[in-house]
Amino acid sequence: MGTTPDRKTICIIEDDEFLRDLYVELLTGEGYTVISAEDGEEGLRLLETQHFNLVLLDIMLPKIDGLDILRRLREKRQGKLPSQVVLLTNLGQETIVEEGFSLGITGYLIKSELNPDQVVKKVEEFLAAENM
């Protein structure tokens, strides 16, 4: 009997159903456990109740936007985020990205500049860096 490999758990908070389902399918196919949310309220609830190795967080979300999710998490956790958070967005505005970093994100990906396979590769890079 061998040991089961440590499966990484990823949370995707994305309101675009097509993209969300695509990322879930691709990352699940790579062996990750993936849980998703379609709005900020649901995403915040997941982040408050479960552990994730990585969170892909859209900024423009219904109910609660991505930056507000980060603010609320930090407030509840004495200024720390519960896991690596990567903003997954189409907004490349420097001020938003800077605010994300000031709130503790690990990095950001601009959806329009990456195909889905490249997003998977970037996720793998962020997770590999976590183990270093």
pLDDT in tens, 33-59: 999 999 999 999 999 999 999 999 999
CB 70 within 8 A of CB 81: yes
Residue 2: pLDDT band (50, 70, 90) is: very low
Confidence at residue 3, expressed as pLDDT on a 0 to 100 scale: 35
For the residues 113-131, what does the mean pLDDT come to?
90
Full-prediction pTM beyond 0.75? yes
Query: pLDDT of 5-15, one tens digit each?
Result: 478 999 999 99
- Which class is 9-124 in CATH? alpha beta
Q: Is pLDDT at 130 greater than 90 in this prediction?
A: no
For the residues 102-128, what does the mean pLDDT come to?
93
Q: Is pLDDT at 1 greater than 50 in this prediction?
A: no
Q: Is pLDDT at 117 greater than 70 in this prediction?
A: yes
Confidence at residue 78, expressed as pLDDT on a 0 to 100 scale: 79
Laid out side by side, the sheet with 33-37 consists of: 33-37, 9-13, 54-57, 84-89, 107-110
